[in-house]
């Protein structure tokens, strides 16, 4: 048996639990399942990937005050079944004080290798939108994904992976506190807005994500296949520039 916990340690544990419960409540969790000894669920074999929450790691996610604290709290994440397949966690890149954040779906092969979002072909197009279209530098904005690990074979992320990973994005956005989010592509848009409405109906209009203005637009990878729709993305980006009060290239 170990030594009994001191008052100070108990107070620390109580604070961690309170922070974690409040954090889950903000995410919309209304209750926690009860684990009943001898219940069928308790007899199931342990999952290969730890499904249990590491209370202290996740309390430190909720308590992170800077992006580097948040990155440290995420650590060498093993919270979902993507972990064994990825090379590294692709956390995000850019300005911690950015007024504008771009959110994509998940890292692809190039991002998984380099550890930075949007560095492949689609990323080059996003960089052009930022630099040539908006006349900003990539370092002026922040770029992240809903999912921080590459899904094998670039398949769509699954609901349990989104549920595990989205809190990290939410905390990233709370820390950065941007004025505008641009959500890139059907998956990011539908996930963040909790809707199945087609992106063609969502794009070009303002939406709300936890109190931040969100503009959905097409994913740069889609634009590589459908260059004719660049005009629509430019319309959406001009609305963003209008709200941010920035100039940019003439239409
Ligand atoms: N597509 C995404 O959605 N995100 C990336 O980081 C790269 C490609």
- The pLDDT of 39-63, averaged and rounded, is 56
Considering the domain boundaries, does residue 104 fall inside one?
yes
Residue 16 lies in a domain: no
The alpha carbon of 199 and the centre of ligand 1 are apart by a number of angstroms equal to 17
**Domain count within the chain:** 1
Mean pLDDT of 104-133: 98
CATH number of the domain encompassing residue 169: 3.40.470.10
Own/partner contacts of 210-215, CB < 8 Å, gap of 24 or more, are: 210/170, 210/173, 210/174, 212/173, 212/177, 212/178, 212/179, 212/180, 212/181, 213/179, 213/180, 213/181, 213/243, 214/180, 214/181, 214/182, 214/183, 215/180, 215/181, 215/182, 215/183, 215/239, 215/240
| CA-to-CA separations, 31 to 21, 28, 130, 152, 160, in angstroms, rounded | 9, 9, 42, 32, 17
Whether the predicted pLDDT of 137 surpasses 50: yes
- Quick check: is 143 in a domain? yes
Ligand 1: which of 126, 145, 218 to mutate, judged by most atoms within 8 Å of the beta carbon? 145
- Asked whether residue 76 is domain-assigned, the answer is no
**180 within some domain:** yes
% of the chain residues with pLDDT over 70: 76
Range of the domain at 162: 87-244
Q: What is the pLDDT of residue 19?
A: 58
> Would residue 249 count as lying in a domain?
no
């Amino acid at each position: 048996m170990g030594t009994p916990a001191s008052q100070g340690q108990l107070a620390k544990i109580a604070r961690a639990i309170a922070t974690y419960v409040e954090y889950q409540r903000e995410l919309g969790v209304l209750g926690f399942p009860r684990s009943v000894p001898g219940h069928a669920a308790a007899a199931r074999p342990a999952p290969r990937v730890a499904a249990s929450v590491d209370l202290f790691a996740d309390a430190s996610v909720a308590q992170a005050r800077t992006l580097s604290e948040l990155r440290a709290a995420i650590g060498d994440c093993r919270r979902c079944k993507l972990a064994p397949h990825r090379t590294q966690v692709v956390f995000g890149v850019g300005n911690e004080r950015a007024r504008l954040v771009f959110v994509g779906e998940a890292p692809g092969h190039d991002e998984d290798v380099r550890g930075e979002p949007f560095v492949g072909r689609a990323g080059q197009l996003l960089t052009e939108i930022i630099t040539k279209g908006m006349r900003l530098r990539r370092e002026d904005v922040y770029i992240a994904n809903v999912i921080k690990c590459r899904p094998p074979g670039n398949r769509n992320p699954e609901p349990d992976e989104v549920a595990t990973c989205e809190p990290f994005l939410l905390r990233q956005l709370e820390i950065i506190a941007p004025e505008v989010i641009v959500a890139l592509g059907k998956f990011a848009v539908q996930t963040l807005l909790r809707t199945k409405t087609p992106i063609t109906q969502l794009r070009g209009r303002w939406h709300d994500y936890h109190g931040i203005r969100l503009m959905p637009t097409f994913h740069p990878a889609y634009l590589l296949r459908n260059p004719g729709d660049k005009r629509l993305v430019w319309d959406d980006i001009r609305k963003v520039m209008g709200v941010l009060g920035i100039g940019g290239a003439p239409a």
